[in-house]
Amino acid sequence: MEIDDYIVATDAELVELAAGGDQQAFEYLFTRYRESIERLFEQRLNDKDTASDLLQETFIKVYLHLDNYSKSFTFGQWVYTIARNTLIDHLRRRSDDISIDERFTAPAASTPTPEESVIISQTQTHFEASLNELSEEYRRIIKMRFLDEYSYEEIAEKLGRPMNTVKTQIRRAKSAICKMIIEKE
């Protein structure tokens, strides 16, 4: 596909191409929604670094679950739902700052279909393989943040590093693992 074709392609066309392994199609989807989602996070959190982290986390989830996208919603609605849920998850981790009303705004979890279970299993295997290729330092910090669900503050304390250093390392590790996943597709 030529660059002009990507530019004029609809979201649905780009999703189909990206789900088929077209990296450029995914990059164009990312470019279309990046600013508005990052702005959403910045407005809610008033923290550009955290907004950037949540943007990356959102698009990792979008990439990993692209096969689960349903055309009954626009792609924009789907991405914003993922972004909103990512924000809610982030706020839950900081539960001492959340009002009782906000704690109950998350949608109820649904049980995956057998097909979705297979896809999730395959995606998890792919993620774990990429995780094992990371340097020991990046692997450790990714596990602490996303598998053990430590806060940035807890990681900084456990590793004896400044908070901004931890945030930078997590951002770099997420970027590295995304590149590995995209290259393997």
**DSSP output for 91-150:** HHHTGGG--HHHHT-SPPP-PPPHHHHHHHHHHHHHHHHHHHHS-HHHHHHHIIIIIS--
User: Residue 58 — pLDDT band, cuts 50, 70, 90?
Assistant: very high
- Compute the distance between CA of residue 44 and CA of residue 117 in angstroms, rounded to an integer: 33
Query: In this structure, are residues 150 and 159 in contact, taking their beta carbons and an 8 Å threshold?
Result: no
CA distance 83 to 30: 12
pLDDT of residue 82: 92
Residue 173: partners with Cβ closer than 8 Å, 6 or more residues away: 134, 138, 139, 141, 142
User: What are the residues whose beta carbons fall under 8 Å from the beta carbon of 127, sequence distance 6 or more?
Assistant: 64, 177, 181
CATH 1.10.1740.10 region(s) of the chain? 1-108
Q: Give yes or no for residue 146 having a pLDDT over 90.
A: no
| 11-19 vs 23-45: helix crossing angle, rounded to 10 | 120
Q: Would you state the pLDDT for residue 115? A: 62
CATH 1.10.10.10 given to domain 111-185: yes
pLDDT at 86 over 60: yes
- Decide which of 43 and 1 is more confident: 43
For residues 23-33, average pLDDT: 88
Say whether pLDDT at 38 is over 80.
yes
Q: Judge contact between 86 and 61, C-beta under 8 A.
A: yes
Identify whether the C-beta of residue 147 lies closer than 8 Å to the C-beta of residue 124: no
Do 29 and 18 touch, CB atoms closer than 8 A? yes
Provide CATH 1.10.10.10 ranges for the chain. Answer: 111-185
pLDDT at 93 over 90: no
Give the CATH number of domain 1-108; options: 3.40.50.1220, 3.30.465.10, 2.70.180.20, 1.10.1740.10.
Answer: 1.10.1740.10
What mean pLDDT value characterizes the chain? 81
- DSSP character string of 154-176: HHHHHHT--HHHHHHHHHHHHHH
Mean pLDDT of all residues in 11-24: 86
* Mean pLDDT value across residues 133-153: 85
